[in-house]
């Protein structure tokens, strides 16, 4: 084995033993990905830690064009004027719309409801990856699509009306 192969094996072993990588690898959006793709994605993401009660961003503030994935902890989102409160936790994503639409303001104030660990990527770094390594850029795009799909399904399930049992129009089951 040459020196480069030895270094690569060492890097892979270090990533695989990382607690945050293990949490990332266990997320539903990573289930269909191979180990090498998951390691590549993980290596593109920036880790940040936030203490309980800290504000991640405020509603109507200018976006930093960063998509964030909760790897550990909970976030409370408060939408102004609508008095809606949401709770996000492990595997949930936020900031995706302002990542995609760079002129968009944040629609909610997000506060760490517990000690929090996030993985994130900003639009500028993503654009560099798309230019320099299109294959990795496409992998990142597919990963974000899976996150968006999961988020859409979650919202659909949480906000869909509960079906009525033995509703007159349905007949008897």
Running DSSP on this structure, what letter comes out for residue 51? -
For the stretch 80-92, pLDDT in tens is 876 778 899 998 8
* 99/68 Cα distance (integer angstroms): 9
Strands of 43-133, DSSP E: 46-50, 55-57, 66-72, 75-79, 84-88, 93-94, 109-112, 116-122
Compare 170 and 100 and report the one with higher pLDDT.
100
* 19/141 Cα distance (integer angstroms): 24
At residue 1 the predicted structure's pLDDT band, cuts being 50, 70 and 90, is low
pLDDT at 100: 80
- Give the CATH number of domain 15-157; options: 2.60.120.10, 3.40.50.10710, 3.20.20.80, 3.40.50.720: 2.60.120.10
pLDDT at position 68 over 90: yes
**How many angstroms separate the first and last alpha carbons of the chain?**
66
For the stretch 141-164, pLDDT in tens is 888 888 777 766 655 554 444 444
* 162/43 Cα distance (integer angstroms): 41
For the stretch 9-28, pLDDT in tens is 767 777 888 899 999 999 88
The residue behind tokens 């266990």 is 26
For the chain, give every domain's residue range.
Answer: 15-157
For residue 145, count other CB atoms closer than 10 A to its CB.
Answer: 11
At residue 72 the predicted structure's pLDDT band, cuts being 50, 70 and 90, is very high
Compare 78 and 155 and report the one with higher pLDDT.
78
* 153/134 Cα distance (integer angstroms): 28
The pTM assigned to this predicted structure is 0.78
For the stretch 107-125, pLDDT in tens is 889 999 999 999 999 999 9
pLDDT at position 132 over 60: yes
Q: Are 67 and 106 in contact (CB under 8 A)?
A: no
């Amino acid at each position: 084995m040459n020196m480069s192969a030895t270094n690569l094996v060492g890097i892979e072993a270090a990533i695989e033993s990382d607690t945050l990588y293990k949490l990332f690898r266990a997320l539903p959006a990573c289930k269909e990905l191979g180990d090498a793709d998951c390691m590549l994605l993980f290596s593109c993401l920036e880790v940040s830690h936030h203490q309980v009660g800290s504000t991640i961003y405020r509603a109507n503030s200018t976006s930093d064009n960063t998509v964030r994935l909760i790897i550990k902890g909970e976030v409370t989102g408060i939408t102004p004027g609508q008095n809606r409160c949401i709770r996000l936790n492990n595997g949930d994503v936020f900031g995706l719309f302002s990542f995609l639409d760079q002129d968009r303001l944040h629609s909610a104030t997000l506060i760490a409801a517990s000690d929090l660990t996030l993985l994130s990527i900003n639009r500028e770094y993503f654009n560099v990856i798309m230019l320099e390594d299109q294959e990795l850029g496409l992998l990142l795009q597919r990963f974000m699509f899976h996150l968006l799909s999961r988020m859409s399904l979650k919202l659909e399930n949480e906000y869909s009306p509960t079906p009525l049992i033995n509703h007159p129009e349905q007949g008897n089951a």
